Amino acid sequence: MADILVTSESGALIIDGKAASAAVLDEVAKGAAELIAAGIRPGLAVVLVGEDPASQVYVKSKGKAAETCGFHSVQHTLPVETPQADLIALVQKLNSDPAIHGILVQLPLPKHIDSQLVLETIAPAKDVDGFHPVNAGLLAIGDRKRALVPCTPAGSLILLQKAMDALGRPIAGCDAVVVGRSNIVGKPMAQLLLAESATVTIAHSRTKDLASVVKRADIVVAAVGIPEMIKGDWIKKGAVVIDVGINRVAGEGLNAKGEPKTRLVGDVDFAGAVKHAAAITPVPGGVGPMTICMLMSNTLTAARRAKG
Ligand code: GUN
Domain limits, the chain: 39-129, 150-290
Task: For residue 232, count CB atoms less than 10 angstroms from its CB and return exposed for 0-12, middle for 13-18, buried for 19 or more.
Answer: middle
Of 16, 106, 187, 218, the catalytic one is 106
Q: Return the ligand 1 atom nearest residue 104 CA.
A: 9
Query: Do 39-129 and 150-290 come out as alike in CATH topology?
Result: yes
d(CA 75, CA 80): 15
3-state helix, strand, coil in the chain (%, to 5): 40, 20, 40
Query: Taking a C-beta distance cutoff of 8 angstroms, is the pair 279, 12 a contact?
Result: yes
Average pLDDT of adjacent 10-residue blocks, the chain of 308 residues? 87 97 98 97 98 95 97 98 98 98 98 98 98 98 96 98 98 98 98 98 96 98 97 98 96 93 97 98 97 98 94
Q: What is residue 1's predicted lDDT score, i.e. its pLDDT?
A: 55
Q: In Å, what is the CA distance from 52 to each residue of 108, 110, 115, 240?
A: 9, 10, 16, 35
Distance 58 CA to ligand 1 centre (A): 8
d(CA 260, CA 237): 37
Kindly calculate the radius of gyration of the chain based on its CA atoms and give it in whole angstroms: 20
Q: What is residue 308's predicted lDDT score, i.e. its pLDDT?
A: 83
Q: In Å, what is the CA distance from 130 to each residue of 35, 103, 136?
A: 22, 10, 7
Q: Is the shortest distance between the CB of 107 and ligand 1 below 6 Å? A: yes
Query: Taking a C-beta distance cutoff of 8 angstroms, is the pair 105, 114 a contact?
Result: no
Distance 226 CA to ligand 1 centre (A): 18
Q: Is the shortest distance between the CB of 294 and ligand 1 below 6 Å? A: no
Q: Is the shortest distance between the CB of 129 and ligand 1 below 6 Å? A: yes
Of 16, 126, 127, 129, the catalytic one is 129
Element (H, E) at 7: strand 5-7
Task: For residue 29, count CB atoms less than 10 angstroms from its CB and return exposed for 0-12, middle for 13-18, buried for 19 or more.
Answer: middle
Distance 12 CA to ligand 1 centre (A): 31
Compute the C-alpha angle 218/169/294, nearest 5°: 80
User: Any residues with CB less than 8 A from the CB of 33 and at least 6 apart, and which?
Assistant: 70
CA dihedral 89, 93, 95, 100 (to 10 degrees): -140
Query: What are residue 173's DSSP bridge partners?
Result: none
Q: In Å, what is the CA distance from 227 to each residue of 4, 73, 89, 264?
A: 25, 34, 39, 9
Query: Taking a C-beta distance cutoff of 8 angstroms, is the pair 235, 276 a contact?
Result: yes
Rounded mean pLDDT of the chain?
Answer: 97
Give CA 34 to chain center in angstroms.
26
Task: State yes or no: is 106 an active-site residue.
Answer: yes
Query: Taking a C-beta distance cutoff of 8 angstroms, is the pair 5, 167 a contact?
Result: no
Topology classification of domain 39-129: Rossmann fold (3.40.50)
d(CA 244, CA 288): 7
- Closest residue (by CA) to atom 4 of ligand 1? 107
User: Any residues with CB less than 8 A from the CB of 209 and at least 6 apart, and which?
Assistant: none
Topology classification of domain 150-290: Rossmann fold (3.40.50)
Q: Is the shortest distance between the CB of 179 and ligand 1 below 6 Å? A: no
> Crossing angle of helices 17-37/53-68, nearest 10°?
50
3-class SS of residue 172? coil
